[in-house]
Copies of this chain bind each other. A is one copy, B any other.
Amino acid sequence: MNIGIIGFGYWGTNLVRNFANLKDVKLKSVADERAERKSALRSLCPAAEFTASADDILSDKEIDAVVIATPVFTHYDMAKKALNNDKHVLLEKPMVSKTDQAKELIELADRKNKLLMVDHTFLYTGAVQKMKSLIDSGDIGNIKYFDSTRINLGLFQPDINVLWDLAPHDISILNYLIKEVPYSVQATGVSHTNNGIENIAYININYNSGFIAHFSCSWTSPVKIRMMLIGGDKKMILFNDVEPTEKIKVYDTGYELKTDEDKKKVLVDYRTGDIYTPKLDTKEALAVMAHDFVSSIINGQKPLSDNTSGFEVVRILEASQTSIKNKGREVVL
């Protein structure tokens, strides 16, 4: 199988390194409009051709699968062309910037019988895999809330706001871990630049069952926080991604509600117990993702981070954007 990668910036470099190391695959070409990236490619992967034109890859008959790591506003056109040219497509997150585009691409991929996958790398980390197995086993109980903070002094993106930049990670993890379908979204945000692009934003996602998800995103924090709390009625999980090894802690903490008939008030029984810090798989998530892309093509199976996941992330981001522009009004999904 021949692979082409379009976009050889910061993330593209990681993709090149991982696809170059993959078995059963040849990284044939890499495209980046900045001609000066040619020498970087030569030292990283001398066997791959460099081109300044994405079209060279999109129209290359020998290329079976295309990885697209360019700014999000280019995703739709490139992916469409690639699919029309009978290539499998891996899109970086977020998939596209509009739900309609996502839907159209998914239908096109179905018609063409090609794999259209979205790279939500986090789903392949040892930490998320561990949380998935903990939740699926029933150990955590019924999940009551999900609260994620992803803030640091980050690069202000010129074309997308902080939600489209940072929240795809957390929303894709949420959707992967929680099966319930969200009901509505509320979001607020503020821009401290004169281009109106939000650098701080908050999202609430509401569910019929009373489960609630909250996201806090910022490019303007002096400290780097990557923290997720997931509370079940049996146990609770803390995922602290800035910890080098002890990223997941499972707290045997909870409360039980009892009805006090006479006094007609809620009695809450608290419980705090042991903490369990599981060992995590330390394989590089991007390598596992790249392997999933290739093996899903070969075996004709659905990848873990599939295009439904990509679509759902776009749907929630789009609704959040609408809510922000309407001063936090609830947007039913």
Contacts and interface: CB of A to CB of B under 8 A. Distances in A.
Interface string A30-50: 000000000000000010000
B190 A210 contact: yes
Interface stretch (A8-16, A59-67, A85-93, A193-201): A193-201
A303 interface: no
Given A204-B188, A272-B153, A276-B274, A257 B193 contact: yes
Given A46-B46, A204-B202, A330 B330 contact: no
Interface of A: 46, 144-145, 147, 149, 151, 153, 155-156, 158, 184, 186, 188, 190-195, 197, 200, 202, 204, 206, 210, 212, 214, 216, 218, 220-223, 229, 231, 236, 238, 242, 244, 246, 249, 251-253, 255, 257, 259, 265-266, 268, 270, 272-279, 327-330
Contact of A275 (B204, B255, B277): B277
A226 B259 CA distance: 31
- Copies of this chain, count: 4
8 contacts: A147-B216, A156-B255, A186-B186, A186-B188, A188-B204, A216-B216, A328-B328, A328-B330
A153 to B, nearest CB: 6
Contact of A231 (B222, B268, B273, B276): B222
B220 A231 contact: yes
A149 B218 CA distance: 15
Contact of A272 (B229, B253, B279): B279
A279 B145 CA distance: 24
A196 to B, nearest CB: 10
Contacts of A194: 257, 259, 266
Contact of A222 (B149, B221, B238, B278): B238
A156 B268 contact: yes
A65 to B, nearest CB: 23
A278 B190 CA distance: 30
